[in-house]
Amino acid sequence: MQTVKDPQMDNGLPVFRAQGVTKIYPMGEVQVHALRGVDLDLVRGEFLVLLGHSGSGKSTLLNILGGLDTPTAGRVFYLDQELTTAEESELTRYRRRSVGFVFQFYNLIPSLTARENVELVTEISRNPMTPERALDLVGLSERMDHFPAQLSGGEQQRVAIARAIAKQPDVLLCDEPTGALDITSGVVVLEALEHVNDELDTTLAVITHNAAIAAMADRVLTLADGQIVGDRRNETRVAAKEIQW
Ligand SMILES: Nc1ncnc2c1ncn2[C@@H]1O[C@H](COP(=O)(O)OP(=O)(O)O)[C@@H](O)[C@H]1O
Ligand SMILES: [Mg+2]
């Protein structure tokens, strides 16, 4: 069991502030309302799990927070920087320096070893940790010189996490990181995320449709039809290795 982070302990600005965030996709005759006025503050170091059925707007929200997409209306701030009015070059810098992304599929380069996949990022980062440290943080120090094809799905996902954290981002955004994994590999991946959040104090947002994972989080947000319909804090955090589904 772990201590839940107390937002009162952090007197600073929230890391993220979203105000009235709306996203409408025009689809020919109809408009798809992916987000309908989302308000959200995220505290530094917080471990957030985002739950919701398929199509509820989870990925859209995460992509907007990560600067991969822009809302139709509303404002998004990262610290004191307004992302919704930022120039493309500022957004690029923001994505490159401040945000790490992890997706359901690992997108590793097959002809590069685990270490070399992580190096691709550390070579272009301003303040990276070594690829060795990043891989060690996700429990892969023994597998650094393996190619993706020589690694299990869970190990490949941990390489992807090492790659995302190697630049020491302030926030790590994960969209269904265990979606393609069986429970055993999934739990090891969750342990890696938990460890990163504890060790580096990285603000962590994890999308999942697996409600069992919510027990690990400081805070659980539920989306339905583009709106936040649930926002609760866990009294205690359950360790990843205790999670079952
Ligand atoms: N690029 C897009 N173009 C059109 N509609 C989209 C696009 N991306 C998402 N949507 C729609 O927006 C809604 C929310 O999608 P999404 O954020 O991907 O949900 P979730 O991640 O919760 O499954 C869905 O109805 C989806 O079909
Ligand atoms: Mg999604």
pLDDT for res 161: 97
Backbone angles phi, psi at 210, to 5 degrees: -95, 100
Please tell me whether the overall predicted TM-score, pTM, comes out greater than 0.75 for this model.
yes
pLDDT in tens, 52-62: 999 999 999 99
pLDDT in tens, 8-53: 555 556 899 999 999 999 999 999 999 999 999 999 999 999 999 9
Query: Alpha-carbon Rg of the chain, whole angstroms?
Result: 18
What span, in angstroms and rounded, lies between the C-alpha atoms of 221 and 198? 20
Q: Is the pLDDT of residue 1 over 80?
A: no
pLDDT for res 99: 95
Backbone angles phi, psi at 228, to 5 degrees: -80, 115
For a substitution probing ligand 1, which of 21, 22, 25 has the most ligand atoms within 8 Å of its CB? 25
Count of residues making up the chain: 245
Give ∠ CA 85-40-233 in degrees, rounded to 5: 155
Q: 7-13+44-67+97-242: which CATH topology?
A: Rossmann fold (3.40.50)
Whether 148 lines ligand 1, by a CB cut-off of 6 Å, is no
Whether 30 lines ligand 1, by a CB cut-off of 6 Å, is no
Domain borders along the chain are 7-13+44-67+97-242
